[in-house]
């Protein structure tokens, strides 16, 4: 296994006291006898201020049959080529610690030591504990065994609420006390680009269904930005939906990567070329993807000009997936600067850079507002775009009332996916630990058959569409060639579908139809897993969108019911301090015990969130939890007594 590292300049502004604490924290990982050597070397390296970025780690092939190795495979999976750039596993963002890592080639060492210690731990049925900071890769301890075979608990980035600010994060990260684990990567259930392609496909499809009144998207244009780790899925998903996508990307490297991969069909290097390609594609009415090399603000402003000059509105759907959760450190590039100028200014003159970002966000919103008045449907794509734009003073119509999550434009959860979550549908996923593509084919077939059987037995109209969308997805999944590394799959399903699929997989392992166990998991971006007032829970309007109980209860409940591992994280998605995420993994090894645990755990994992969404007033959730109670007589969920007479409130308040 090899690690390739690239160097570039960065700026860190820790004080001398901080520096001394950073060195102290870091060398605690080393033998005392070697401390004098480490201190000298590390002090020298700190003065060189070098940033490291991990580009590639050769995949480790694994034939995995025991739980320990399954876990290792998922951990290592996170470190393969497709690793999200900010995964906590790499410990590489923005601090002195990465210099340390380079010097010692710690990444390599830690992966090896993790492998050995994890196998040892799990062989003895002990639990592993992972926590934030420098112990994140190396398990921080052997703890007493769990009676229900839960093997691993991860808690990272959890911070006393009043201290969960971006500024504190920078400092705590430098001290080695915490790190940013994103979502699925943080709980070892990242499966490469497949999850995001599937989720984006469903979002674009349902946006068209809702706002264009059709899912026939031929000739319709979807404009957005970002061709990075997750955002890069947008053109691929749009093509699956059959529409024309135009994605602005300032980084040539990111754009070319998606082009070479085939997810972006053509590149436009300037605005004239881009508009001419759009006009041509609209006439042809073919699914087509254009990558515009430039700033999204220039693109939106050009659409306004085109309308003013020709009367043609060239775009029907619009969004944004720049990394606005981290707007001032490279997540959002302001239109006034070139890409290279931005890279320098964000470190050398951060205050000026911040002002430019905010001005750029205001310009972007002004252009979008004009187009939206003309008929564009725009949505926030869970990247904190509207939140940061409102902080920048843009005219996004933020509602400052008790609910506080409403803007002029809905988020995709408020308008599109939230109602689907409330039906209990969410991103269920699995990994075939044998690593055999034939096992994945078998699980595709099993899951499609299970969903078709459910439909044939009769389902309410409200959920039939969701089942059909996902049957279509899973039947075509192999042809989309989205598997990278682990043989993994995703589909959206509700509690009934998830439990039946898990049972069918477990039986297939037992009967030898599959060559190895299957790990079931999910994205946190689900009905229950995440409390995130500007994304997953943005459609909860009773003021409780800012509470984080659901995600925490989710993890506790999953753990008690026998998940193989559970994880709880602050941040991920919308940014540090803005979100609480819970995740799990459960190994189906064909045993009766694993099958029983999966049933109990999945029932909790879905109904926990549906019940909460029902109480908060979502009609889909109320219908779903009532149906679930009908199917399972032992389930008793308290239902809200909705206020029927709104005048009653008005009268009472007036009195
Ligand atoms: N909705 C979802 O389901 C979902 C899922 C994953 C991620 N996200 C969010 O989406 C955002 C993007 O995620 P990512 O992993 O792709 O991040 P990323 O940083 O890898 O990619 C963002 C890209 O945007 C480009 N960019 C930045 N400013 C630009 C500008 N003004 N014009 C044109 N291009 C610009 C960057 O060069 C970069 O390549 C994050 O905030 C993330 O949290 C949403």
Task: Mark whether 584 and 473 lie in a shared domain.
Answer: yes
Task: Mark whether 464 and 575 lie in a shared domain.
Answer: yes
Q: In this structure, what are the phi and psi dihedrals at residue 367, rounded to the nearest 5 degrees?
A: -65, -45
**Residue 416, both tokens:** 């599109």
pLDDT at 358 over 60: yes
Q: How confident is the model at residue 631 (pLDDT cuts 50, 70, 90)?
A: very high
Task: Mark whether 432 and 358 lie in a shared domain.
Answer: no
138-142, 373-377, 387-391: range with lowest mean pLDDT: 138-142
Judge whether 210 lies within some domain. no
Cα(346)–Cα(348) distance, rounded to whole angstroms? 6
pLDDT at 58: 28
In a 3-state reduction of DSSP, which class is residue 146? coil
Mean pLDDT, rounded, for 361-387: 95
Q: Residue 324 maps to which CATH number?
A: 3.40.50.10730
Kindly report, residue by residue over 564-607, the tens digit of the pLDDT: 888 888 887 778 888 999 999 898 989 999 999 999 999 999 99
pLDDT at 320 over 50: yes
pLDDT at 311: 97
Task: Write the CA distances from 23 to 4, 160, 468, integer angstroms.
Answer: 25, 24, 56
Rg over alpha carbons for the chain, rounded to the nearest Å, is: 25
| Residue that is last in its domain, among 179, 206, 231 | 179
pLDDT at 87 over 80: no
Judge whether 654 lies within some domain. no
Element (H, E) at 291: strand 288-293
| Best of 231, 274, 359, 530 for a ligand 1 pocket test (most atoms within 8 Å of beta carbon) | 231
Mean pLDDT, rounded, for 390-396: 95
Q: How far is the CA of 529 from the centre of ligand 1 (A)?
A: 22
Nearest CA to ligand 1 atom 19: 323
Q: What burial class does residue 596 get, using C-beta atoms within 10 Å of its C-beta: 0-12 exposed, 13-18 middle, 19+ buried? A: middle
Kindly report, residue by residue over 517-561, the tens digit of the pLDDT: 899 999 988 999 999 998 899 899 888 999 999 999 999 999 989
pLDDT at 115: 36
326 close to ligand 1 (CB < 6 Angstrom): no
Q: What is the largest CA-CA distance in the chain?
A: 77
Task: Mark whether 133 and 267 lie in a shared domain.
Answer: no
467 close to ligand 1 (CB < 6 Angstrom): no
Mean pLDDT, rounded, for 188-206: 85
Cα(505)–Cα(511) distance, rounded to whole angstroms? 10
Judge whether 641 lies within some domain. no
Which residue matches tokens 């308040």? 653
Q: How far apart are the first and last CA of the chain?
A: 74
**Residue 92, both tokens:** 């590489």
Cα(545)–Cα(552) distance, rounded to whole angstroms? 14
Mean pLDDT, rounded, for 625-645: 91
**Nearest Cα to Cα of residue 586 among 605, 573, 569, 610:** 605
pLDDT at 116: 36
Full-model pTM: 0.77
Task: Mark whether 39 and 148 lie in a shared domain.
Answer: yes
Task: Mark whether 165 and 290 lie in a shared domain.
Answer: no
Q: How many CA atoms lie within 13 A of 518 on its CB side?
A: 34
Q: How far is the CA of 231 from the centre of ligand 1 (A)?
A: 5
**Residue 503, both tokens:** 């049972």
Cα(592)–Cα(503) distance, rounded to whole angstroms? 10
**Nearest Cα to Cα of residue 177 among 128, 127, 140:** 140
Task: Mark whether 261 and 225 lie in a shared domain.
Answer: yes
In a 3-state reduction of DSSP, which class is residue 631? helix
Instruction: Residue 425: count other Cβ atoms within 10 Å of its Cβ.
Output: 28
237 close to ligand 1 (CB < 6 Angstrom): no
pLDDT at 502 over 90: yes
Q: Is the Cα dihedral 309, 315, 319, 320 positive or negative?
A: negative
Judge whether 17 lies within some domain. yes
In a 3-state reduction of DSSP, which class is residue 503? helix
In a 3-state reduction of DSSP, which class is residue 130? strand
Task: Write the CA distances from 136 to 169, 180, 287, 529, integer angstroms.
Answer: 16, 11, 44, 21
pLDDT at 92 over 80: no
418 close to ligand 1 (CB < 6 Angstrom): no
pLDDT at 258: 94
Cα(459)–Cα(423) distance, rounded to whole angstroms? 12
pLDDT at 648: 83
Task: Mark whether 12 and 47 lie in a shared domain.
Answer: yes
Nearest CA to ligand 1 atom 40: 323
196 close to ligand 1 (CB < 6 Angstrom): yes
pLDDT at 365 over 80: yes
Average pLDDT, the chain: 80
Domain span at residue 162?
Answer: 3-179
249 close to ligand 1 (CB < 6 Angstrom): yes
199 close to ligand 1 (CB < 6 Angstrom): yes
DSSP-derived pairing of the beta strands 518-522 and 426-432: antiparallel
Listing DSSP states for 365-392 in one string gives: HHHHHHHHHHT-EE-B-SSSHHHHHHHT
The total domain count for the chain is: 3
Which residues does 570 contact at the CB level (< 8 Å), separation at least 6? Answer: 156, 157, 158, 159, 164, 576, 577, 579, 580, 581
pLDDT at 44: 59
> Crossing angle for the helix pair 233-241 and 194-211, nearest 10 degrees?
50
Cα(413)–Cα(392) distance, rounded to whole angstroms? 23
Task: Write the CA distances from 230 to 76, 199, 577, integer angstroms.
Answer: 19, 11, 21
Residues in the chain: 655
Instruction: Residue 587: count other Cβ atoms within 10 Å of its Cβ.
Output: 27
Judge whether 189 lies within some domain. no
Query: What percentage of the chain reaches a pLDDT higher than 70?
Result: 76
Cα(44)–Cα(46) distance, rounded to whole angstroms? 5
Any bridge partners for residue 432, and if so which?
487, 518
pLDDT at 422 over 60: yes
pLDDT at 42: 63
Task: Mark whether 296 and 387 lie in a shared domain.
Answer: yes
**Nearest Cα to Cα of residue 333 among 408, 262, 417, 255:** 255
Q: How far is the CA of 62 from the centre of ligand 1 (A)?
A: 32
407 close to ligand 1 (CB < 6 Angstrom): no
| Residue that is last in its domain, among 339, 361, 396 | 396
Q: Residue 512 maps to which CATH number?
A: 3.40.1770.10
pLDDT at 246 over 50: yes
| Best of 230, 261, 301 for a ligand 1 pocket test (most atoms within 8 Å of beta carbon) | 230
**Nearest Cα to Cα of residue 179 among 187, 171, 191, 188:** 171
| Residue that is last in its domain, among 179, 201, 228 | 179
525 close to ligand 1 (CB < 6 Angstrom): yes
pLDDT at 599: 96
CA 175 to chain centre: 26
Task: Mark whether 423 and 381 lie in a shared domain.
Answer: no
324 close to ligand 1 (CB < 6 Angstrom): yes
pLDDT at 378: 96
Judge whether 59 lies within some domain. yes
Helix, strand and coil percent figures for the chain, each rounded to 5: 50, 15, 35
Task: Mark whether 589 and 480 lie in a shared domain.
Answer: yes
Of 191 and 39, the one with more pLDDT:
191
Query: Do residues 609 and 528 lie in contact, with contact meaning Cβ atoms separated by under 8 Å?
Result: yes
Cα(13)–Cα(16) distance, rounded to whole angstroms? 9
pLDDT at 17: 62
For 461-498, give one letter per residue: b (16+ CB within 10 A) or e.
eebeebbebbbebbeebeebebbebbbbbbbbbbbbbb
Q: How confident is the model at residue 147 (pLDDT cuts 50, 70, 90)?
A: low
Judge whether 323 lies within some domain. yes
Highest mean pLDDT among 110-124, 266-280, 545-559: 266-280
Q: How far is the CA of 85 from the centre of ligand 1 (A)?
A: 11
Task: Mark whether 355 and 444 lie in a shared domain.
Answer: no
Judge whether 187 lies within some domain. no
Cα(202)–Cα(536) distance, rounded to whole angstroms? 15
């Amino acid at each position: 296994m090899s690690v390739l590292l690239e160097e570039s300049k960065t700026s860190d502004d820790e004080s001398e006291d901080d520096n001394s604490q950073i060195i102290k924290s870091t060398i605690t990982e080393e033998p005392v006898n070697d401390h004098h050597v480490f201190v000298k070397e590390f002090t020298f390296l700190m003065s060189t201020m070098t940033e490291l970025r991990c580009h590639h780690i050769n995949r480790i092939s694994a034939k995995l049959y025991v739980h320990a190795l399954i876990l290792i495979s998922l951990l290592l999976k996170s470190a393969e080529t497709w690793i999200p750039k900010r995964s906590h596993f790499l410990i590489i963002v923005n601090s002195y610690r990465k210099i340390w890592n380079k010097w010692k080639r710690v990444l390599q060492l830690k992966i090896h030591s993790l492998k050995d210690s994890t196998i040892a731990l799990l062989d003895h049925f002990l639990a592993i504990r992972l926590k934030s900071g420098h112990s994140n890769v190396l398990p921080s301890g052997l703890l007493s065994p769990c009676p229900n075979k839960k093997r691993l608990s991860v808690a990272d980035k959890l911070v006393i609420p009043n201290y969960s600010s971006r500024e504190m994060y920078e400092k705590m990260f430098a001290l080695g006390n915490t790190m940013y684990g994103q979502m699925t990567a943080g709980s070892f259930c990242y499966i490469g680009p497949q999850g995001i392609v599937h989720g984006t496909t469903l979002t674009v499809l349902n946006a068209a269904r809702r706002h264009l009144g059709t899912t026939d998207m031929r000739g319709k244009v979807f404009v957005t930005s970002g061709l990075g780790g997750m955002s890069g899925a947008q053109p691929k998903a749009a093509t699956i939906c059959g529409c024309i996508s135009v994605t602005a990307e300032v980084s040539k490297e990111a754009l070319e990567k998606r082009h070479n991969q085939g997810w972006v069909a053509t590149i436009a290097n300037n605005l004239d070329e881009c508009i001419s390609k759009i006009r041509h594609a609209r006439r042809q009415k073919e699914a087509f993807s254009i990558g515009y090399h430039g700033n999204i603000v220039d693109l939106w402003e050009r659409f306004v000009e085109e309308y003013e000059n020709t009367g043609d509105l060239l775009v029907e759907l619009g969004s944004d997936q720049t990394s606005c959760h981290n707007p001032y450190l490279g997540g959002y590039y302001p239109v006034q600067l070139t890409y290279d100028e931005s890279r320098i200014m964000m470190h050398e003159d951060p205050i000026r850079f911040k002002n430019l970002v905010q001005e750029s966000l205001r310009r972007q919103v002004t252009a979008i507002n004009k187009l939206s008045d003309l008929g564009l449907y725009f949505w926030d794509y869970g990247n904190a775009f509207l939140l940061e734009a409102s902080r920048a003073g843009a005219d996004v119509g933020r509602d400052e009332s008790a609910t506080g999550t409403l803007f002029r434009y809905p988020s995709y959860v408020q308008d599109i996916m939230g109602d689907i979550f409330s039906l209990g549908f969410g991103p269920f996923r699995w990994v075939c630990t044998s690593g055999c593509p034939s096992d994945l084919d078998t699980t595709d077939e099993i899951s499609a058959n299970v969903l078709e059987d459910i439909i044939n037995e009769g389902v309410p109209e409200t959920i039939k569409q969701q089942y059909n969308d996902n049957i279509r997805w899973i039947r075509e999944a192999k042809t989309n060639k989205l598997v990278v590394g682990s043989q993994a799959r995703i589909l959206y399903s509700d509690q009934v579908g998830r439990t039946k699929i898990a049972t069918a997989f477990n039986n297939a392992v037992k009967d030898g139809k599959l060559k190895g166990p299957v790990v079931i998991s999910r994205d946190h971006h689900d009905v229950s897993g995440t409390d995130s007032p500007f994304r997953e829970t943005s459609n909860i309007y009773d003021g409780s969108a800012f509470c984080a109980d659901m995600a925490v209860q989710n993890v506790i409940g999953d753990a008690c019911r026998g998940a193989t591992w559970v994880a709880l994280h602050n941040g991920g998605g919308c940014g540090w301090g803005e979100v609480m995420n819970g995740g799990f993994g459960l190994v189906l090894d064909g045993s009766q015990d694993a099958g029983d645990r999966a049933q109990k755990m999945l029932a909790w994992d879905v109904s926990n969130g549906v019940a909460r969404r029902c109480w908060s007033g979502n009609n889909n959730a109320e219908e779903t939890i009532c149906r679930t109670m009908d199917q399972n007589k032992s389930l008793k969920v308290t239902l809200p007594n909705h206020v029927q007479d709104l005048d009653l409130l008005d009268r009472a308040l007036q009195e």
